Amino acid sequence: MIDLRLIRDSPELVREAIRKKGIGEEHDVDEVLRLDAKRRELLQEVQELRARRNRLSQEIGRLKESGGSPNELVVEMREVSSRIKELDGQLRPVEERLQTLLLYIPNIPHPDAPVGPDETHNVEVDRWGEPRNFEFPPKPHWELGTSLRILDFERAAKVTGTRFTVFWNAGARLVRALISFMIDLHVREHGYAEVLPPFLVNEQAMVGTAQLPRFREDSFKVEGYDFYLVPTAEVPVTNLHRGEILEADQLPLYYVAYTACFRSEAGSYGRDTRGLIRQHQFDKVELVKVVTPETSYQELEKLVREAGEVLRRLGLPYRVVEMCTGDLGFAQTRKYDLEVWMPSYQRYVEISSCSNFEDFQARRANIRFRRSRKSRPEYVHTLNGSGVAIGRTIAALLENYQCSDGSVVIPEALRPYMQGMDRITPGD
């Protein structure tokens, strides 16, 4: 949520953001301005009446105390009270509508974010490693995984449906190894605290990180409960501090969390239908930062390096792309994607997304900090980034490390987590 005062003072800035992102309605801004004015008008009147009520109430109390008869005052009180009730009745729908509209207005892009309508305007800012030259026709990971008997899409379809996977044997172990490898890296070398949050969250948490109310169709809800399956660990982890006022010396907070992630992938029928790239359930190690406003952009750059370290250790070629305004999400001001080289796609594929939200989520989730004992609370800045997506990492490992006989070499960094196993061959 953006600051109502910003809309009041610079509505054109907000309209421009809506245009650049292609998310939201410009006329919502006008309605916000109208409702805000209306609200303040009603509020002033009702507050004066309440002040009157408080004074009358005191007088009645005093009169009764001294044995007097407050009848006339009680009559006036009745009138004042019913008028207050009436105005409250007018005020409430105004405030509710205003609040809802604010939840639908997107965050303002950073001035340095490249402007453009779609991904063709994204900007590559870094590149690491060389895509390998295969001396044989490389296979896609779904073929490799199936013939190695570590990925089983057919049985997953039987027990659940399409876009699910069963991992067998070395495949299952590989998932576990990657989770541990990534968490260890971020804890030991990047100073993150390990968190294992719930995989179900309530509606308020989803609103806090801005998945709701706008993107309801993207998530899975548990029938009969106020529970959503987490689409990313960002939701439970960022919301850990919902409603809190933190001390300045607690910041920055760095959290690393593994969760399974659940996404409906509504509207992507027919895209990436094979393999691990687009699943309803996938594993991910997520990095979340809660920081002071003045540090958030340098924290974003650091986040990109920390996520990239995972790929460098695994020897996977990747590039870093800065998202243009049209590719920025609803809540982000600035975002970098890490894209790993995927031989079957013959291109780089997103494997991590690192974003700054500034105070957008903090305002929704009411996460603040105090610079000193005496100072007013301010909103923190929040960031997050994948560190990184496990399923896509497995796809990239299988494809990039495949051999002509269909076996797959396990990169050095992962072997300690695989009981020393250095290669997956059929039967493992």
Partner RNA sequence: GGAGAGAUGGCUGAGUGGCCGAAAGCGCUCGCCUCGAAAGCGAGUAGGCGGGUAGCCCCGCCUCGUGGGUUCGAAUCCCACUCUCUCCGCCA
CB-based contact 286:259 (threshold 8 Å):
yes
Nearer to RNA, 184 or 378 (CB): 378
Task: Single out the catalytic residue among 219, 353, 355, 386.
Answer: 353
Using CA atoms, how far apart are residues 403 and 398, in angstroms rounded to an integer? 9
Using CA atoms, how far apart are residues 142 and 281, in angstroms rounded to an integer? 16
Nearer to RNA, 93 or 426 (CB): 93
Using CA atoms, how far apart are residues 136 and 128, in angstroms rounded to an integer? 24
Q: Is 423 a catalytic residue?
A: no
Report the phi/psi class of residue 45: left, alpha or beta, with left for phi > 0 and alpha for psi in -120 to 50. Answer: alpha
CB-based contact 382:362 (threshold 8 Å):
yes
Min dist CB 5 to RNA, Å, is: 8
Q: Is 353 a catalytic residue?
A: yes
Task: Single out the catalytic residue among 173, 263, 334, 368.
Answer: 263
Min dist CB 365 to RNA, Å, is: 14
What residues line the site for RNA (CB under 7 A)? 4, 40, 43-44, 47-48, 50-51, 53-58, 60-61, 64-65, 74, 77-78, 81, 245, 368, 370, 373-374, 376-377
Nearer to RNA, 60 or 421 (CB): 60
Min dist CB 31 to RNA, Å, is: 16
Nearer to RNA, 50 or 312 (CB): 50
Using CA atoms, how far apart are residues 98 and 31, in angstroms rounded to an integer? 8
Q: Is 372 a catalytic residue?
A: no
Min dist CB 419 to RNA, Å, is: 25
The residue whose two tokens read 């996938």 is 282
Q: Is 392 a catalytic residue?
A: yes
β pairing state of 200-201 and 166-167 = unpaired
Distance from the Cα of residue 67 to its chain's centroid: 63
Nearer to RNA, 258 or 318 (CB): 258
Task: Single out the catalytic residue among 95, 350, 370, 371.
Answer: 350
CB-based contact 226:190 (threshold 8 Å):
no
Nearer to RNA, 243 or 426 (CB): 243
Using CA atoms, how far apart are residues 411 and 70, in angstroms rounded to an integer? 86
Task: Single out the catalytic residue among 306, 358, 392, 399.
Answer: 392
Min dist CB 45 to RNA, Å, is: 10
Min dist CB 222 to RNA, Å, is: 13
Q: Is 66 a catalytic residue?
A: no
Active site residues: 263, 278, 350, 353, 392
